[in-house]
């Protein structure tokens, strides 16, 4: 079965077409500036040329139509016709408490995704638009929703509740949801394979460190705690997000800057994190270079990040009363040997020893701890699209 995986943003749409026989990537691409003018970059994996040009995309429907046109075209295509695409899997950001697993999309599911819009006002409407656009162009091809939040629905109340009046949870659904669930699920399963043990017997900590970063404690294959919260602003300091801060800072800043809560929240989401502290960049490569050139604020931002990751990992070791394996993934986790080394420096009390030669490698699933290390440390490139495609296949076939 061939499966189209869609990750739809408000003005963008990322896609991959996978052949599930051998789980082979056939093509991938990105539509940008949807609703503004429109640009499509399409990369077939069969040796045919890349298409990278402006294409009019007044709405997501034209974007999907353009993607299907390229996927099936003689010059850039990878399939003979749309009929070869057996199903579509969508990344949906928020499933609230309704979805603990992926689900085949029908009218009730669409209503439930819409009910979660107040919890993810920027993301869920775009995800809905993507599903509707596929329906408009592809008719009755089965569609599946895979939620970022679903994996964390196994967290117990002590981990997901905030200590605020209970009605805010029962009436307004204020609680920790957590995000990056698809990534944490993928890398933890892969880690168990690499360690050669059933996931049910393992205590794992997954560090997804990219533009957005979150850590997840996974006990017996289930998420038991995670660092992002009601929204993805919580937890670690990130590229531009502040992570955990004292909530009273908001009132203090409002009183002293004349900015309202909305403006301040925007600053905490978009102008904070390592960008805000360093004043240099949200990209860790730029921070590494600036710190090497003697920029103290860039060095401080990096130190703050390493420290926050190490503290969170330590708290999850406590939460699970032990840990067998720690996983690094996503842009920073997969590529930055110096970040991994700096974090693991804090963790020698766990008996962790890193093998520098292994830590220097890139682009593969690899154990970077020594044979003697009491806790195994792994780098596992994440693959959320593959999880979405696998879930889609499983639900459609069975």
Name the residues annotated as catalytic.
Answer: 148
Of 99 and 284, CB closest to ligand AMP: 284
Report the nearest approach of ligand AMP to the CB of residue 292 (Å): 12
Of 72 and 338, CB closest to ligand AMP: 338
- State which of positions 56-75 bind ligand AMP (CB under 6 A): none
DSSP letter assigned to residue 323: -
Task: Please report how many Cα atoms fall inside a 13 Å half-sphere around the Cα of residue 323, on the Cβ side.
Answer: 30
Strand spans (E) along 193-261: 203-209, 213-219, 222-226
Find the helix or strand (DSSP H, E) in which 159 lies: helix 157-160
> C-alpha dihedral over 89, 94, 97, 100, to 10 degrees?
30
Q: Which residue's Cβ has the minimum distance to ligand AMP?
A: 331
Can you tell me which residue has the tokens 């889609």? 392
Point out which span in 93-101, 111-119, 327-335, 370-378 binds ligand AMP (CB under 6 A).
327-335
| 331 sits near ligand AMP (criterion: CB under 6 A) | yes
| 239 sits near ligand AMP (criterion: CB under 6 A) | yes
Report the nearest approach of ligand AMP to the CB of residue 183 (Å): 9
Report the nearest approach of ligand AMP to the CB of residue 205 (Å): 18
Point out which span in 101-109, 290-298, 325-333, 350-358 binds ligand AMP (CB under 6 A).
325-333
The CA-based angle 197-212-333, given to 5 degrees, is 45
Of 150 and 291, CB closest to ligand AMP: 291
What is the Cα 97 distance to its own chain's centre?
A: 19
Q: Which residue from 172, 191, 1 is spatially nearest to 89, judged by alpha carbons?
A: 1
Of 238 and 320, CB closest to ligand AMP: 238
Contact assessment for residue 144 and residue 391, using Cβ atoms and an 8 Å cutoff? yes
Report the nearest approach of ligand AMP to the CB of residue 241 (Å): 12
From candidates 24, 197, 271, 285, binder to ligand AMP by CB under 6 A:
285
From candidates 9, 130, 178, 210, binder to ligand AMP by CB under 6 A:
210
Contact assessment for residue 236 and residue 224, using Cβ atoms and an 8 Å cutoff? no
SS3 of 225, please?
A: strand
The whole-angstrom separation of Cα 69 and Cα 360 is 42
Of 2 and 91, CB closest to ligand AMP: 91
Report the nearest approach of ligand AMP to the CB of residue 207 (Å): 12
Report the nearest approach of ligand AMP to the CB of residue 382 (Å): 8
Kindly tell me the sign of the dihedral angle through the C-alpha atoms of 223, 228, 231, 232. negative
From candidates 332, 347, 379, 387, binder to ligand AMP by CB under 6 A:
332
Point out which span in 136-144, 150-158, 255-263, 332-340 binds ligand AMP (CB under 6 A).
332-340
| 328 sits near ligand AMP (criterion: CB under 6 A) | no
| 289 sits near ligand AMP (criterion: CB under 6 A) | no
Of 27 and 302, CB closest to ligand AMP: 302
From candidates 61, 153, 223, 336, binder to ligand AMP by CB under 6 A:
336
Q: Which two tokens stand for residue 344?
A: 């693991």
> C-alpha dihedral over 31, 33, 34, 38, to 10 degrees?
-70
Point out which span in 16-24, 115-123, 248-256, 282-290 binds ligand AMP (CB under 6 A).
282-290
Contact assessment for residue 38 and residue 47, using Cβ atoms and an 8 Å cutoff? no
How does 44-76 read in b/e, with b if 16+ C-beta sit within 10 Å? beeebeebeeebebeebbbbbbbbbbbbbeeeb
Contact assessment for residue 190 and residue 301, using Cβ atoms and an 8 Å cutoff? no
Of 222 and 297, CB closest to ligand AMP: 297
| 283 sits near ligand AMP (criterion: CB under 6 A) | yes
Q: Which residues pair with 143 in a beta bridge?
A: 88
| 335 sits near ligand AMP (criterion: CB under 6 A) | yes
DSSP letter assigned to residue 360: T
Footprint of ligand AMP (CB under 6 A): 210-211, 239, 283-285, 330-332, 335-336
């Amino acid at each position: 079965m061939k499966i189209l995986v869609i990750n739809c943003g408000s003005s963008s749409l990322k896609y991959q077409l996978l052949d599930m026989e051998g789980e082979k990537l056939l093509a991938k691409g990105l539509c940008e500036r949807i609703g503004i003018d429109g640009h499509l970059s399409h990369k077939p994996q069969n040796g045919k040329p890349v298409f990278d040009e402006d294409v009019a995309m007044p709405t997501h429907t034209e974007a999907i139509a353009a993607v299907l046109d390229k996927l099936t075209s003689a010059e850039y295509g990878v399939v003979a016709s749309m009929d070869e695409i057996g199903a579509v899997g969508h990344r949906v950001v928020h499933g609230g408490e309704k979805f603990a697993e992926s689900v085949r999309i029908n009218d009730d599911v669409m209503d439930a995704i819409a009910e979660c819009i107040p919890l993810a006002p920027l993301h869920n409407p775009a995800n809905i638009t993507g599903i509707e656009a596929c329906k408009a162009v592809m008719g009755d091809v089965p569609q599946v929703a895979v939620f970022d939040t679903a994996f964390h629905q196994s967290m117990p109340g002590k981990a997901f509740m905030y200590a605020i009046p209970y009605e805010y949870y029962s009436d307004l659904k204020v609680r920790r949801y957590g995000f990056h669930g698809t990534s944490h699920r993928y890398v933890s399963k892969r880690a168990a394979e690499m360690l050669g043990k059933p996931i049910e017997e393992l205590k794992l900590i997954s560090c997804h460190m990219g533009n957005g970063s979150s850590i997840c404690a996974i006990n017996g294959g289930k998420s038991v705690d995670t660092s992002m919260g009601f929204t993805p602003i919580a937890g670690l300091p990130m590229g531009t997000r502040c992570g955990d801060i004292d909530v009273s800072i908001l009132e203090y800043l409002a009183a002293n800057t004349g900015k309202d809560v909305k403006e301040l929240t925007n600053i905490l989401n978009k102008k904070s994190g390592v960008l805000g502290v360093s004043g240099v960049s949200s990209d860790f490569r730029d921070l590494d270079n600036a710190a090497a050139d003697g920029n103290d604020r860039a060095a401080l931002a990096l130190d703050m990040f390493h420290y926050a990751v190490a503290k969170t990992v330590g708290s999850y070791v406590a939460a699970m009363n032990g840990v067998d394996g720690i996983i690094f993934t996503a842009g920073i986790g997969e590529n930055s040997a110096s970040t991994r080394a700096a974090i693991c420096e804090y963790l020698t009390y766990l008996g962790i020893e890193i093998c520098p030669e292994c830590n220097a490698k890139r682009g593969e699933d690899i154990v970077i701890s020594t044979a003697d290390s009491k806790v195994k440390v792994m780098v596992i490139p994440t693959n959320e699209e593959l999880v979405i495609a696998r879930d889609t296949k499983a639900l459609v076939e069975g």
